[in-house]
Amino acid sequence: MCDTFVALGSATIDGKVIFGKNSDRPYLEKQTIVYFPRKQYTDETVLKCTHISIPQVEETHAVLLSKPSWMWGAEMGANEKNVVIGNEAIFDTKEPLGPPSLIGMDLVRLALERSSTTIQAVHIICELLETYNQGGACAEDDPTLMYHNSFLIADSNEAWVLETAGKWWIAQQIKDGFRNISNSLSIRSEYTLAKEGIVDYVLDKDYCDNRGEFNFAKCFTKGFYQTPSRYSREGWGNYLLQLNSGNIGPKIMMEILRDHYGGICMHGAFRTTASQVSYLSRKNTIHWMTGSPHPCVSFFKPFVVPRQNQPIEIDIFSQRDNLNLLEKQAIIQELHSFEQELIQSIQNIIQTDNWLMKDIQTLTQEALKREYSLISA
């Protein structure tokens, strides 16, 4: 379970692109914030993904990821070219999953490492999907947890929703306004790109009766299909975006990710194990990550994709493992108060023409120290 959001243009407070995602995963699964630098490879290099190996490309971009520690792939993240991606599990499609191959989290990381724009990321995921298919266990201790995937991809110019069923895919470009995806197919009759032959395929399979009725979500959804109501997670998330349209910035997106009424901030056997909000601009992109469960009690810390040659891993999850912040209201209030100070400080910094990456990195280190100090006391 996950929820992913994007707002751009007229929907945001300053015309920039705001991305947000909650990663909902098994309760005990650890998720860390990691950085991998840009790297070059030889033609013979083989890349070991979560379940299969594939040829490596000549050069990969630097990436900042929020990833389950046991797998190669990532739930969400960003690269040095200001591309961000989050994926969603899709369970109820008519297409069978293939044998163990690439999982959705592998496709997220592969696209971030290899793409410079949203449309390039779309093409990379689709090419990998058509070459290797998708399949395999998506949880460390549960080999039965397998699913298809949808993706929300954004950069400082636009966003795309890419949805899949087996090797079949469809994509929708978003140039203005807002969009969100949850754990069901959401592209219906309005789309920008699709796998060649998709309409003929659904007719041959009797997924729909005629060409005029082609609706990707309806055709590929198993069982009874209906448009999500406001009280589904997808519908409620869309309502929150609509309610805040014109004013959406990092603060509003964090509030949406903390919503309990619609189940966006998830508690239970599956819970929100990490969250990300990204402010995407050509000159001053900032990523806010929790690296810890439950955004309602977590602290969004600011990050930029660093320029250094060594990998970094930030493990906040383990630091909080024995601390039930749901019962520590004073700590929560202090962290959230500091979070608001950071949002304002960074807004002041990026409004200047001579802001430096080291200014944000200093605030990042201060934020991490503050969090570690409070949760260790």
- The phi and psi torsions of 119 (rounded to 5 degrees) equal -65, -35
Written as one letter, the residue type at 59 is E
Q: Which pLDDT value is given to residue 322? A: 63
Topology, domain 2-328: Penicillin V Acylase; Chain A (3.60.60)
Overall average pLDDT of the 93-119 stretch: 95
pLDDT of residue 375: 83
Cα–Cα distance, 266 to 260 (Å, whole number): 7
What is the pTM (predicted TM-score) of this model? 0.96
Among 286, 251, 293, smallest CA distance to 24 is for 293
Q: What's the pLDDT at 353?
A: 67
Higher per-residue pLDDT: 360 or 127: 127
Model pLDDT, residue 374: 87
Q: Which residues pair with 181 in a beta bridge?
A: 4
In whole angstroms, what is the distance from residue 131 CA to residue 80 CA? 26
Cβ-Cβ contacts under 8 Å for 304 (sequence gap 6 or more): 285, 286, 287, 357, 360, 361, 364
**DSSP single-letter state for residue 153:** E
Per-residue pLDDT, averaged over 11-15, amounts to: 96
Q: Which of 36-50, 198-212, 248-262 has the lowest mean pLDDT?
A: 198-212
pLDDT of residue 86: 97
Q: In the predicted model, what is the mean pLDDT of residues 115-127?
A: 98
Question: How many Å apart are CA 248 and CA 102, to the nearest integer?
Answer: 34
Rounded Cα distance between 371 and 137, Å, is: 33
What span, in angstroms and rounded, lies between the C-alpha atoms of 216 and 309?
43
- Average pLDDT (255-263) is 96
Q: What is the pLDDT of residue 319?
A: 80
**Does 151 score more than 80 pLDDT?**
yes
Q: Which of 2, 138, 219, 296 is catalytic?
A: 2
The tens digit of pLDDT for each residue in 268-315 reads 989 999 999 999 998 889 999 999 999 999 999 999 998 889 999 999
Percent of the chain with pLDDT over 90: 78
Task: Write down the pLDDT at residue 298.
Answer: 93
Average pLDDT, the chain: 93
Residues 6+ apart with CB under 8 A from 205: 94
The reply to whether 296 belongs to the active site is no
Whether 77 contacts 112, CB under 8 Å: yes
| Number of helical (H) and strand (E) elements in the chain, helices listed first | 9, 19
Q: What confidence score (pLDDT) does residue 237 get? A: 96
Segment 205-238, tens digit of pLDDT = 999 887 778 999 999 998 777 777 888 899 999 9
pLDDT surpasses 70 at 321: no
pLDDT in tens, 165-217: 999 999 999 999 999 999 899 999 999 999 999 999 999 999 988 777 899 99
Assess whether pLDDT exceeds 70 at residue 323: no
- Cβ-defined contacts of 289-293 (< 8 Å, 24+): 289/33, 289/64, 289/66, 290/316, 291/31, 291/32, 291/33, 291/66, 291/315, 291/316, 291/317, 292/316, 292/317, 292/320, 293/317, 293/320
pLDDT tens sequence across 350-365: 887 677 778 888 999 9
Please give the share of the chain, as a percent, with pLDDT higher than 70: 97
1 has pLDDT over 90: no
